[in-house]
Structure 1
Amino acid sequence: MDNGNRLGEYLRARRDLARPEDHGMPAPGRRRVAGLRREEVAMLAGLSTDYYIRLEQGRQRHPSPQVLDALADALRLDEEASAHLHGLARPTPRPRLARRPVPASSSGQTGLAD
């Protein structure tokens, strides 16, 4: 799993678990994917297919809470899975660099010539 795109990996995994017939779509005899197609998830969530693809590919990493709720509904996520989805989309705070203390001058000189 690519740790840099955990949101996209999670969306793909949940999409693979979703069954088209559970969403009122006919299950054709042969499908190229195990679950819903990207286009189907986008349609169910009310998103453009392009935007959904960007989410899965990690080119859009911080969707709004409304988009996440729509995706959770489209993928029929329970409360715990939905909370996990929201958590994955939250930006992770970057660690702050420790500031190096400025050494105090014991002689009171600035080091500049008079």
Structure 2
Amino acid sequence: MDGSELGGFLRSRRARVRPADAGFADGGRRRTPGLRRAEVALLAGISVDYYVRLEQGRGPRPSAQVLTALGRALRLTADERDYLLRLGAPPPPERAAAGPTSPRPCGGSSTGSTTSPPSPSTPATTWSPGTRCSSR
């Protein structure tokens, strides 16, 4: 997550929302257009300090629930909400080095030969990741 990009997006969308549209009294003169940070935090159900840190790019990675609440508070479109969720999404996991990804299932061998399937008269062998082979 690039905190500065998330913060810039939140600031720009906050400036678009008129206080009257969000249910707040105009309250006279405002230094900047749009909602105050405290008003966004109140609408989203988060602390003002946390919202300020997000907007300044200093906060921890927000959860999907927080981002969804911010999207509602800022009256985002579906595309803007998706973009907000992508901005706050965790990075994809790193890929592991090439090689076997799981142990061989029961009955297999490292030489590539396999055993014949169990017959109805013999017990079936079960296997799941992280367990040892066992008979039923």
Q: Which category of TM-score, normalised to the shorter sequence, fits these structures?
A: 0.7 to 0.9
Report if the CA contact (8 A) 2:7-2:57 is conserved.
yes
Structure 2 residues without counterparts, runs of 5 or longer: 96-136
Provide the C-alpha distance between the structure 2 equivalents of 1:65 and 1:15, rounded to a whole number of angstroms: 19
Q: Where does structure 1 lack aligned partners over 5 or more consecutive residues? A: 97-114
Q: CA deviation at 1:94?
A: 8.9
**One-letter identity of the residue aligned with 2:90:** P
RMSD: 2.0
Displaced runs of 4 or more, over 4 A: 93-96
Structure with more contact order per residue of length (Cα contacts < 8 Å, sep ≥ 6)? 1
Residue identity matched to 1:36: L
Q: Choose between structure 1 and 2: higher helix proportion.
A: 1
Q: TM-score, normalised by structure 2?
A: 0.63
Residue pairs, 1:1-114, within 5 angstroms: 5-92=4-91
Identical-residue share of aligned pairs (%): 54
**1:52-76 deviation digits (Å, cap 9, x = unpaired):** 0010111114100000010001011
Q: Deviations over 1:23-73 (max 9, x none)?
A: 111112311120000000000000000000010111114100000010001
Q: Decide which structure has the larger Cα Rg and report it.
A: 2
